[in-house]
Chain A
Amino acid sequence: MKKAGLFILMTCLSWSCTENLMLEPVSEISNANFWKTEDDATAGLYGMYVRLRVPASSSFFCWGEGRSDIMGPSYLGAVADFNLYYDNALNATNSAVTYNGGNTTWQNLYSIIHHANLILRNVPDITFRSDATKNDILAQAYTMRAYIYFLMVKTWGDIPLVVDPIESVDPLTTQKVRTPVSEIFAFIKEDLDRALELYPTANLTEDRNTWSKPAANVLKADVFLWTAKRLNGGEIDLNVALTALNDAEQSDVVLLDNFADIFEYTNKGNKEIIMAVNFSELEVTLGTQRRESRFMYIHPAIPPNISPWAKAKIGAPSPNGGYWTPRPEICDQFSSEDQRKDASFFQIFTQNEGDDSTFYATLAYKFRGTVVGGSRVFLDDVVLYRYADILLLRAEVKNALGLDPSEDINAIRQRAYGPYYADHVFVPGSREQNDEVILQERLFEFLLEGKRWWDLIRFEKVFDMVPSLKDRVGQNHLLLFPIPEVTLALEPLVTQNSGYN
């Protein structure tokens, strides 16, 4: 008995210390065992795109179109904070609490930057079966980083430049000051050059929802056009943009004959797409569906007295529709001969006694999602670039260079007006007139695609066109977004955009 006790005692005391406390996770991957193989790199790459979905599900639209002249209240009135965008009433406090517009801080964007930085840090040390695969992954990470910084610098101006993955919690290294716009653009351009060098082929990817050389070229053109117009880049930048667009056009892209087909849920990855953020059923939770579209459709309380035709076209309603929508003044600008009109939105009228009818609501139709089990889910891809971008960006570049933009504009119009094209042929005028036409054509072509606000800035038409800004001419701080108070609270080295103090 005593021996047994002694034995237990010895066992207890000799229990080896730290080794038994070193547990390897079973169902998780830790820092220590990731980024070792080609498979890790591929999965990590898609992880970066998963992160891209988060801001793409709503913020891209809110930033790129929410503040523009396109948007206004829908039939439910100015509710749910969307009015903060089209009223241009954003300030430090409310810009982060807008729950329906999604998180409007830059956190989700830096999360993508972090993933790109992880790839750029770790993938070079991994052995691949083929260098082409490795270079493709690195090129995508560079393109992604450039795209996100481009979006951020347009949105907030100076921003913190983070070029390494976060590996420390030391506040002295995680706290960063804002880097000036010009340096950010220099960095973006470097990233794009590196990316374009690395892409192993000049082809588009099969699904067209990851970055590729043509997509990087369109992005490059977009960036250089911006710096040409906004940062005095002049003809040098315009020529770079033109070359990039011409390069991009060499890939397998066409204009689809039927405009609506570009956005059909069942036609994702079609030949007009250059790069779209993929949204797929069961891959996306409710919270990361495309929220701006969800709130633009009609909610289930549909007036009984609308036509059966309209009812059929609506199909399943959105759980939270009726919050915001393209303004009637914008919709009225579409010609009925333009096939883009019916593909972009449709208007509902209630039938009153007699033949009298009353306008009820405008529904966004371009990104109306699909119906699963009776519920409408908003899972359209967010199109970042498509062939029409190449054409209209090139028209804009050419016009700025004093070249004739007719060919590109007319390519767009030919598709849009089809049999009525003859009545809508573009004939060049003065450079200003051409600019006006290009801007207008972009409105028709890209309605609801998250580009209008940037267009208005590039063409310097913000204060002319946006109703809520017409009496605020000269308040140029409004071209940038306020930095939310929650961001300032956590980043003492970051200062507010002047004008928002």
Chain B
Amino acid sequence: MIFFATIAPVFGQTLIIGTVKNIDGETLPGVTIRVKGQATSVSTDDEGGYSIQVPQGSQVLVFSSIGFQEQEIIIEGRTTINVVLEPGSTLLDDVVVIGYGEQSRQTITTSISKLDTRVLENVPYSNAASALQGTLPGVRVQATTGQPGAAPRVIVRGGTSINNPNGATPLYIVDGVFRDGMNDINPEDIESIQVLKDAAATAIYGSRASNGIVIIVIKSGKSGRTDVRYSYDLSLSSMDIGYEPLSAKDFVYFQRLGIAAVGEKFPAELLKLSGELSVGTGNDLTDRTAYTTQYLTEENQHKLNQGWESIADPTDPSKTIIFNNTDWQNVLFRTGVSHNHNIAASGGSEKATFSTSLGYLNNQGIAINTSYKRLTFSLNGDVKIKDNLDVYGRLMYSNSSNNGTSGENIFLWAMGLAPTAKYTFEDGSLSPGPPGNGNPEYRLDKLDNKNSTDNLTMVVGGKWHILPDLVFEPQVSRFTYTTDARSFSGAYLNGPTTLIDTRSASSSHVKRTQHQADAVFSYNKSFMDSHNLEAKLGFAYFETVNQSLNASGRGAASDLIPTLNAAAEMVAIGGQESKQVVAGYFSRINYDYQQKYMVSLNGRYDGASNLGNNYKWGFFPGVSIGWNVHKEHFWNALPEGLLSFKLRASYGVNGNIGGLGPYQAGGQYSVGARYGGNPAIVNSILANPDLQWEQSKTVDVGSDIGLFNGRINILFDYYRRITDNLITSLTLPHSTGFGSIATNLGSLENKGIEFDITANLLPKTSPLKWDISFNAARVKSKVLKLPENGAENNRIGGIYIWDPNKGDYAWLGGIQEGSPVGNLYAYRQLGIYTTDEEALQGPTDMLVPGANKTKYGGDVNWFDTDGNGVIDERDRVYMGNIYPVWTGGLGTSIAYKGITVLLRMDYTTGHTIFNYRRASTVTQMSGDQNLSQEVLRSWQKQGDVTDIPRFVWADRLAGNINRGNSEYYEPGDFLSLREVTIAYILPSTLTRRIGMNNLRVNVTGHNLHYFTNYQGVIPEDGDQDMGRYPMPRNIIFGLQASF
């Protein structure tokens, strides 16, 4: 065998050897060499050398490497071929991984975006999906939280859903294994990421393809090149934007005046002034009260020397109130210090290659108690057993863990707690704070939670050249996902005097086991040098089993043991199992004539277990065509390389069953409930045996343009996707007694354009490299059709308001034909009444609570849309839509010798955010919430001109904010300065001396700033902002060494 493999000729094969260099004469390792029309490929070794067995009759060798132009060399009987590769664009000559195979960008006829992996180089992402933000046109990536490890929302081309467009996530495929997302994958292990966007590209994945496919390839070894790499990142994270809460002094002033004002109408409220509340004077220095405010006395005046402050009681200036100011944001937020280590080795001979890596990330959040730890292993091995048979095995494992603390809760805590609340008692111990959301540091200290998730992927596969042109590729994989979680709350004080010693404890174990088996036959043939044909036929089987166990108990005798065994009393137990099977047959035929005219046919016949019994199977075809105009003769009129131009068009049908439970179609009766000790069964889900595939049909036309020998590359796409039979949770009439039912209804249109340009501004020969890139995507969605239900536009839900376009009242919002989903409506604030007299002139406000509708100076002057002199529910107006319209990014990098400077930005526009967090802190909604500094410019006396209404306790009594005030519906448009990196590669003469091949250091700023008018902490997500965990601003020091 060894003899056959190394000594030519065998079975009429020829051995070709040679060396590959760049234009500077340096040898190039890692260049891929393959025989055109065949699957055989080898790579160059460290010295750029290669050797490849070529079957007789083969004509052409293809040399390709990222960053270089692909070259096709006609063999012409030679046995030694040396090649010089010219630096090329990274775009049009790139090899792109598509479903069950790969293809050169030259011949691709569909819409596929490939990630420039430079974005993965400098930032140690806790979730690699974040790297897609602003880098791939048409892929909307939104961070909704700064929590370590949290997955961003990834939506391709707007998603195909009416009632949850934000849940229409793409399908992720990691080395052929289906996954829900990119969680817990070490970005360092990623070789490439590509997103298949149009229906012809994704049709080969049929049933789950309509929301796009993200294909991730994990690094594997290259023959002839051994490499050991180590990298380390140190990240310092801090808060970029926080809130500006009112100081304790201002808080006492406004809150006391607000209570006094309300007391005129509701005298009982006045008790708050003397009670043990946030500004009440009933507090004292003992550990029986939660707040610090109290009248100055001889016993407490020493506190003024210990940093406490004082203010004349605004309701009775003859008295002095003292208090202590705690900035809870300071208590809760910190500088996070994170470490990321990776070590990887790869290499191999012509017979066998391997790649292995070990990674450890310890990511500390900027809010106390939040963290994310990830340990990853990967092992990839490929062995050539016979000349025509390769087998491989892949193993990927990760463990991630955290302590179950939600940063969102901490953030709400920080904003919800009055600055006058006690942080510590007089003896220095932590105060439990007021009841409910108490002192977070105290409460977090009483929690003992642990979450741990294991992901294990095992893949075995092979590649068998049955005939030189016919390859059979089977692959079997098992993916398991296991989460173990436990939580325990020790005895704690809820408020200074109430001891809660329930000591709740719970544990859960969730396991998902997924098996996949794929078998693909490929036939690859070039005829007469001109006709290139690739045909695939395959079968895929997917099966997933979800199991869970959970239990909770309480009543442990002490705080010593956090696990369930200490619980004296059982509270609940649970255990579930479910299964889903999807199976399909697929085929693809790619044909091109001299790479000039391309056509591709795709199809998949898919069946899924969770659909209605009447509609298990569906067929999903796709067709695409392309024309490389620059390969035509008439193009020779132009100077060579000046302009390359490809036109492409595609049409396809995709399916989708996302979000559908495994047995939803059959209806469900839930168990577990009891009534007076008797087990009860409740009808919880309505059956729908007619539930069928959601089908989206996409037309995509696009163009790939290269200018000046590929120095400028442009990709452009226009698409229109119509999704019919949307699997939608249809909101039912209340008189059915059910909230909703899963059904197929209506159709949705997503229409958009995508544009991507990359340019090398300086000639290839210039020692200074400067490239820029820019991309933009626009998507608009609209409901086209809904089932007849007797309402105008077959509307489901909505509100009845004045429609200025119609000049009449109408039902707007909800879901209706001809309109987008996600519209927001609220009352428009025209201004703030400057005086009581002015307020009396305004329209009658029916939303003022109580019988007395009088408005005063400082109240909001609302827009009376219907002009009837009355403000009521019908006066709500359109505020915007929660979904973005434009998304994209821009970047540039400048490299000179070893130094690279890289800058990346991304932007999103068109979405509106209801900034509830801000609205709820410009007035006292109820109780003792902390307030924002905007209160300082609130209306305070007759004649004040401002945009913030008078401060009241509580807004519900005045109705200035809570009803939905236009001032707090803010555009979320933003431009993010996502990454700035300076990297330096030490000269090889220097690094060789210390035994390294390569040493790179970088300093990176990540999430540096949002340029936005939005007044919350994260402007990325539309809809309602209840208070979000701020995005950490990271300063990263990185080091990469290879040996």
Contacts and interface: CB of A to CB of B under 8 A. Distances in A.
Interface of A: 1-2, 5, 8-9, 12-13, 15, 17-18, 20-23, 25-32, 34, 40, 42-44, 46-47, 49-51, 53, 73-81, 83-84, 87, 89, 91-93, 105-115, 118, 159-160, 162, 166-167, 169, 171-172, 174-176, 207, 209-210, 278, 280, 282-283, 299-305, 316-317, 319, 360, 372-375, 468, 471, 485-494
B730 A78 contact: no
A89 B849 contact: yes
A306 B72 CA distance: 93
Contact of B578 (A26, A75, A77): A26
Nearest to A93: B873
Contacts of A118: 683
Contact of A110 (B554, B662, B734): B734
B731 interface: yes
Contacts of B633: none
Contacts of B577: 26-27
30 contacts: A9-B519, A17-B607, A17-B617, A18-B617, A29-B669, A30-B668, A30-B687, A50-B674, A50-B680, A76-B268, A77-B262, A78-B850, A78-B957, A106-B735, A111-B737, A162-B736, A166-B736, A171-B787, A172-B790, A174-B733, A210-B676, A300-B436, A317-B435, A319-B494, A373-B503, A373-B554, A485-B799, A489-B798, A492-B789, A492-B795
Contacts of B678: 42-43, 46
Contact of B873 (A91, A301, A373): A91
Interface residues of B, number: 110
B501 interface: yes
B276 to A, nearest CB: 5
Contacts of A80: 926, 956
B791 interface: yes
Contacts of B830: none
B158 interface: no
B561 interface: no
Interface stretch (B134-142, B568-576, B702-710, B941-949): B568-576
Interface stretch (B297-305, B524-532, B738-746, B767-775): B738-746
A73 B266 contact: yes
B850 A87 contact: yes
Given A169-B730, A373-B503, A8 B850 contact: no
A105 B734 contact: yes
B762 interface: no
A166 B679 CA distance: 23
A23 B687 contact: no
A354 B616 CA distance: 82
Contact of B436 (A27, A34, A319, A492): A319
B674 A280 contact: yes
Contacts of B662: 23, 25
Contacts of A172: 788-790
A171 B789 contact: yes
Given A27-B576, A166-B737, A174-B732, A43 B679 contact: yes
B474 A26 contact: no
Interface string B416-445: 000000000000000000111000000000
Contacts of A374: 494, 498-502
B737 A300 contact: no
Contacts of B435: 299-301, 317, 319
Interface of B: 262, 266, 268-269, 271, 275-277, 282, 284, 288-290, 389, 434-436, 464, 466, 472, 474, 494-495, 497-503, 519, 521, 539, 541, 554-555, 571-572, 575-581, 583, 585, 607-610, 613, 616-617, 662-663, 666-671, 673-683, 686-688, 730-739, 741, 743, 787-791, 795-800, 811, 814, 849-851, 873, 926-927, 954, 956-957
B24 to A, nearest CB: 46
Given A91-B873, A175-B789, A29 B668 contact: yes
Contact of B495 (A5, A301, A303, A488): A301
A490 B730 CA distance: 10
A301 B269 contact: no
Contacts of A278: 675-676
Nearest to A87: B850
Contacts of A27: 575-578
Nearest to A280: B676
Contacts of A12: 519, 539
A487 B497 CA distance: 44
A30 B276 contact: no
A485 B873 contact: yes
A489 B788 contact: no
A373 B555 contact: yes
Nearest to B682: A47
B626 to A, nearest CB: 31
A242 B268 CA distance: 46
A111 B466 contact: no
Contacts of B472: 5, 8
Contacts of B289: 304
Contact of B288 (A210, A304, A486): A304
In the complex, which of the residues B472, B585, B680, B741 has the most CB atoms of chain A within 10 Å of its own CB atom?
A: B680
B680 A160 contact: no
B766 to A, nearest CB: 53
B268 A26 contact: no
A156 to B, nearest CB: 11
Given A29-B681, A80-B926, 17 more contacts: A18-B617, A23-B580, A27-B577, A30-B668, A43-B681, A44-B681, A46-B676, A47-B669, A79-B954, A110-B734, A169-B741, A174-B735, A300-B436, A301-B275, A373-B555, A471-B851, A485-B799
B253 to A, nearest CB: 20
B675 A49 contact: yes
Nearest to A299: B435
Given A5-B464, A105-B734, A493 B790 contact: yes
Given A30-B666, A373-B554, A374-B498, A491 B276 contact: no
Contacts of B733: 160, 174-176, 487, 490-491, 494
A8 B676 contact: no
A44 B495 CA distance: 42
Nearest to A44: B681
A26 B579 contact: yes
Contacts of B495: 300-301
A280 B232 CA distance: 56
